[in-house]
Amino acid sequence: MAVKTILVKGADSRDMARQASEALAGFQPKLMLFFASGIYSQPEAALKEAFPGVEIIGSSSHSEYCNSQFTDGAVSIMAMDSGSVEDVCVRVVENIAGGPDLRGVLEDMHNYFGGVDQVLNDYESYVGLVMFESGAKSEEIFMDRLGTVTDLLFVGGSSSAAEGCESLVFANGRSYAGAAVLAILKTVNGYDVLKTQSAHIFSERRLLVTKSDMKNRILYEFDGRPCGEVYAEVLGVPLEKISDYFVSNPLGVVADGEIFVRTFNQIQDGGITLHCGLPEGTEINVLEIGRIVDDTKKALDEALTYEPAGLINFNCLYRTLEIQKENVVTPYCELFGRCPSIGFSTNGEAFFGHINETSTILVIK
Amino acid sequence: MAGQVYNMIQRVITQKGKGNLVIENSVRTKMYLKGIAVDKYTAASPDDPAVILKVREVAKEFGVSV
């Protein structure tokens, strides 16, 4: 078996790691990916001790998915052996809020595999994973720079945390705040990336972002007018009611038919704060949220015409809260029980850029 | 004059993609996310100096000349 997934609840991190070690006895992982509830202290160190010599990366999580299960207070783990991942290169970029130059680290990662040409000539084998510590709120700028310095596809998400717990990402047996963990996987049988957002275009009217504060994620104007006023006009609702529609009608950049969702946060400082900044010049559509289970099933059924080795689901926390509200957690999770899978409720997803209210899924073939 | 923006965008995509269709499509997507509505510009689109400047900056980021 090339991929194994386990969901562990332990008395503490050491107990969690012990249970993981027992469950994976006889299996030789090349890479382990884990999503851990913040109730576990230093899970990365406990796992590193239990699995010496294994590359281990992860993120803190608000709630965890594993196969057809959903829970919280647990650690969801995917272990990949050399039958699915031939090699992996992990690097950590700290202080991402400072806008680091990523050329050096990507050059180093490409060179690990023999250089950028080697990687890009075998595009079907190499894929990047990225996990952000979400407190830095710098994902969109980081993803823009990452996409500028590499043509390799990176997919992933931003850390979340259970109430009162710390948001962190993990690598090298250490935890990091304000950082991004990057991993390039050389897969044995290839990979696929899925993105499903259960959001559809509400209005064909495209709105031009004419004033925004990208860094602070504040949107001020569409088409030279206050953005709230234009948003209300598109929806056909009174201006004072627009915040009632922020969850059901987010914004989307539509790139050749592919929707990249940006969700609202709140009205602030004469503008509206978003969970992802929008650069001026961007054209957006107002969206409407659809049926998450139906849309996710459709996306998985269309893409998975084969038996995958494993799925990694970076599922927006908004979507988790929505399926809980709609009481459809079980049918949603059953969609992921078809093969070994793990996931967690993210504070933002990564696919070309930083996106919201989306599920980005890395499929290991 | 017209079509300069369109031509510049096409040059960025072609040079950066180097004949790889997957990479060309990803470059298009990245340009949308950088605030350039790629499909809006045709060979008949007016030469908007602000957009020309923006495409030039993006080209420079990508390390290609337009």
Task: Dump pLDDT digits (tens) for A121-142.
Answer: 999 999 999 999 999 999 999 9
What pLDDT score does A1 carry? 67
Alpha-carbon separation of residue B26 from A9, A44, B7 (angstroms): 40, 34, 18
Q: How far apart are CA B46 and CA A50, in angstroms?
A: 63
Shared domain check, A122 and A59 = yes
Nearby residues of A194 by Cβ (< 8 Å), 6 or more positions away = A299, A300, A303, A359, A360, A361, A363
Interval B24-45 mean pLDDT: 96
Q: How far apart are CA A360 and CA B45, in angstroms?
A: 35
Shared domain check, A106 and A70 = yes
To the nearest whole angstrom, how far is the Cα of A64 from the nearest Cα of chain B?
Answer: 30
Q: Rounded to 5 degrees, what angle do the CA atoms A356, A312, B24 make?
A: 65
Shared domain check, A42 and A122 = yes
To the nearest whole angstrom, how far is the Cα of A283 from the nearest Cα of chain B?
Answer: 6
Shared domain check, A117 and A242 = no
What pLDDT score does A106 carry? 98
Of all residues in chain A, what percent carry a pLDDT higher than 70? Answer: 100
Q: How far apart are CA A74 and CA A60, in angstroms?
A: 10
Chain-chain contact of B35 with A281 (C-beta, under 8 angstroms): yes
Chain-chain contact of A255 with B23 (C-beta, under 8 angstroms): no
Q: Record the tokens describing residue A170, joined without a space.
A: 């993990």
Confidence of residue A270 (pLDDT cuts 50, 70, 90): confident
Give the orientation angle of helix B49-62 with respect to helix B4-17, to 10 degrees: 10
Confidence of residue A199 (pLDDT cuts 50, 70, 90): very high
What residue type is assigned to position A226 of the chain? P
Q: How far apart are CA A43 and CA A60, in angstroms?
A: 9
Q: What is the mean pLDDT of chain A?
A: 96
Boundary-marking domain end, from A268, A289, A310: A289
CB A50 within 8 A of CB A16: no
Q: Rounded to 5 degrees, what angle do the CA atoms A188, A118, A155 make?
A: 60
To the nearest whole angstrom, how far is the Cα of A228 from the nearest Cα of chain B?
Answer: 20
Chain-chain contact of A148 with B62 (C-beta, under 8 angstroms): yes
For residue B16, the chain A residue with the least C-alpha distance is: A151
Q: Rounded to 5 degrees, what angle do the CA atoms A176, A177, A180 make?
A: 75
Tokens 């990176």 locate to A154
CB B21 within 8 A of CB B43: no
Boundary-marking domain end, from A289, A316, A351: A289
Shared domain check, A32 and A123 = yes
Boundary-marking domain end, from A261, A289, A317: A289
Of all residues in chain A, what percent carry a pLDDT higher than 90? Answer: 98
Shared domain check, A211 and A164 = no
To the nearest whole angstrom, how far is the Cα of A81 from the nearest Cα of chain B?
Answer: 28
Q: Where would I find the H helices in A209-262?
A: 227-235
To the nearest whole angstrom, how far is the Cα of B6 from the nearest Cα of chain A?
Answer: 15
Nearest to A197 by CA among A65, A288, A301, A127: A288
Domain count, chain A: 2
Helix (H, G, I), strand (E, B) or coil at A198: coil
Of A123, A256, A280, nearest to B39 by CB-CB distance is A256
pTM given for the model? 0.96
Shared domain check, A105 and A137 = yes
Of B33, B40, B54, nearest to A260 by CB-CB distance is B33
CB atoms within 10 A of CB A305: 6
Residue B1 has pLDDT above 80, yes or no: no
Q: How far apart are CA A4 and CA A23, in angstroms?
A: 9
To the nearest whole angstrom, how far is the Cα of B44 from the nearest Cα of chain A?
Answer: 19
What pLDDT score does A209 carry? 97
Torsion over CA of A339, A345, A346 and A351, rounded to 10 degrees?
A: 30
Interval B22-47 mean pLDDT: 96
Q: What are phi and psi of A151, to 5 degrees?
A: -95, 0
Q: Record the tokens describing residue B38, joined without a space.
A: 């790629």
- Listing DSSP states for chain B in one string gives -B-HHHHHHHHHHHHHHTT-HHHHHHHHHHHHHTT--GGG--TTSB--HHHHHHHHHHHHHHT---
Shared domain check, A212 and A349 = no
What pLDDT score does B66 carry? 87
Shared domain check, A179 and A75 = yes
Shared domain check, A114 and A17 = yes
For residue A140, the chain B residue with the least C-alpha distance is: B33
Interval A47-71 mean pLDDT: 98
Nearest to A311 by CA among A351, A332, A342: A342
Confidence of residue B58 (pLDDT cuts 50, 70, 90): very high
What pLDDT score does A52 carry? 96
Instruction: Spell out which residues of chain B touch residue A260, defining contact as CB-CB under 8 Å.
Output: 32-33
Interval A28-43 mean pLDDT: 97
Residue B36 has pLDDT above 80, yes or no: yes
Of A147, A282, A352, nearest to B35 by CB-CB distance is A282
Interval A243-253 mean pLDDT: 96
Interval B30-50 mean pLDDT: 95
What pLDDT score does A177 carry? 98
Of A123, A258, A280, nearest to B29 by CB-CB distance is A258
Structural domain boundaries, residue A149: 3-196+294-364
Instruction: Spell out which residues of chain A touch residue B36, defining contact as CB-CB under 8 Å.
Output: 281
Instruction: Spell out which residues of chain B touch residue A206, defining contact as CB-CB under 8 Å.
Output: 37
Shared domain check, A257 and A122 = no
Chain B, residues 2-41, CB within 8 A of chain A, namely 16, 20, 22-23, 25-30, 32-40
What pLDDT score does A15 carry? 98
Chain-chain contact of B33 with A353 (C-beta, under 8 angstroms): yes
Chain-chain contact of B37 with A282 (C-beta, under 8 angstroms): yes
Interval A3-16 mean pLDDT: 98
Interval A282-302 mean pLDDT: 96
Of B23, B28, B51, nearest to A255 by CB-CB distance is B28
Chain-chain contact of A256 with B25 (C-beta, under 8 angstroms): yes
Chain-chain contact of B23 with A153 (C-beta, under 8 angstroms): no
Question: What's the burial of A349, exposed, middle or buried (CB within 10 Å: 0-12/13-18/19+)?
Answer: buried
Shared domain check, A276 and A162 = no
Nearby residues of A108 by Cβ (< 8 Å), 6 or more positions away = A91
Q: What are phi and psi of A93, to 5 degrees?
A: -110, 115
Q: What is the pLDDT of residues A77-100, one digit of tens each?
A: 999 999 999 999 999 999 999 999
